[in-house]
Amino acid sequence: MSFFTDLAHQYIDGEWRPGKGSWDIIDFNPFNGEKLASIPVATAEEVDQAYRAAERAQQAWADTNPYARRTVLEKALRIVEEREPQIAEAIVAELGGTHLKAGFELHLAKEFLREAIQLALRPVGQILPSPTEGKENRVYRVPVGVVGVISPFNFPFLLSLKSVAPALALGNAVVLKPHQNTPICGGTLLAKVFEDAGLPAGLLNVVVTDIAEIGDTLLEHPVPQVISFTGSDKVGRHVATVCAANLKRAVLELGGNSALIVLDDADVDYAVDAAVFSRYVHQGQVCMAANRILVDRAIEEEFTEKFVAKVASLTVGDPADPATQIGPLINSSQAESISRLVDQTVEAGATALLHGRADGNLVSPSVLTGLPADSPVLQQEIFGPVALLVPFDGEDEAVRIANDTPYGLSGAVHTANIERGVRVGQRIHTGMIHINDGTVHDEPIVPFGGEKSSGLGRLNGESMVEAFTTQKWISVQHGRSQFPF
């Protein structure tokens, strides 16, 4: 496909060029195995070149009138809108995303670009009083300089853009490393959009590479002051450790094990719809997905019957078919891992109301219940189409079960009494929770992030200003200070 081969390059200092590594990253369609592109990996030397290019370009960009920076982002938005059908096709081909998922991702991407346009004008300074006579304290908001962005495979266009666009809007330069399974949608596609929007060379660099080639160069390099990472908590811990050792700020959006709680007074049909979407959207490859669906025993039988029936009706198949609701997992390793997890959990005593099977990278949905309280699967993130149904007796037990996880990203509570839902939600140790809705939500101006092993820091809205700028105090003494010697 020429679309993919045209973008199968490194993008460094405004130049499209092959990587100098001795091996290639192969970009496959996860549904049919078609080879989309082959990209020679970037070396540690090329990562250095990308960061140095960013460093050279950044100060002039920071000094650029923010209205001019805003204009570039406005052009980027228009380009995304004009190329939306082509980008959607790329998401279907490279990720195995369904048409529904591609539309969802692009809708959010446009909303986040619109917010980034506004962010260019958002940083404001302060003048603070001083106890010293004649002194004026000015506090400036200034760009951090260069930001390193590492994005995941599940929503690569959105989650790359989500850090890249605000960082640029606020006057920074960026080096982006997309996931190896989505180098185009998560990387070079963004570079092309911003290049065509008139972003000066060097401000956005994309390196397609792997830790096997560059080690921790991306993290340890002296130029970037902030690393924005979205991915697993295992890798996130490593990123945090390396950043701390090098005195860098890390913004970490990590995994989840969210609970969707259905209280005894909930609208069962509506809760079923919310739970099915929250668990199975994009094959369950979503950090906010409802891994655990907690149901009050008073309505367990009705909920379970309707939930299983709805899940069984989902269409599994070719993501290019608009009727498909469940497409492939990103690669064979993920598909094998999910199938093995289901088999092991059933062997350990769980009951499979639906036992999904793998056909290549397609894995049909599973629904498991009757899990032992100490089942390891209750503690972990499941990045695939597997739902765990867990009964409870009353709010207190629901809260205890929901909190019994090392994660704390998202969640939901279903109830006829909104304030009851809010009270329960306040007791869940999570960064985000939704009353009478699904668990999978993101909006441009709300603080997005998790507690515990689900991350550090927040993104979106004013949180972007906190993430990608720093404060600088300049005092002015209008009189004369008195010095003790």
Q: Which residues are catalytic?
A: 253
The enclosing H or E element of 169 equals helix 156-169
Contact 22, 43 (CB under 8 A): no
| Beta strand pairing call for 386-392 and 434-435 | unpaired
Backbone torsions φ then ψ of 16, nearest 5 degrees: -90, 120
Residues 476, 112: Cα–Cα separation, whole Å:
38
Residues 77, 169: Cα–Cα separation, whole Å:
13
Three-state SS string over 257-289 comes to CCEEEECCCCCHHHHHHHHHHHHHHHHHCCCCC
Type of residue numbered 424: V
Name 255's Cβ contacts closer than 8 Å, sequence gap at least 6: 231, 232, 233, 236, 287, 381, 407, 409, 453, 454
Residues 45, 51: Cα–Cα separation, whole Å:
10
| Beta strand pairing call for 259-262 and 292-296 | parallel
| Beta strand pairing call for 35-40 and 24-28 | antiparallel
Enumerate helices (H) and strands (E) in the chain, giving the number of each: 16, 24
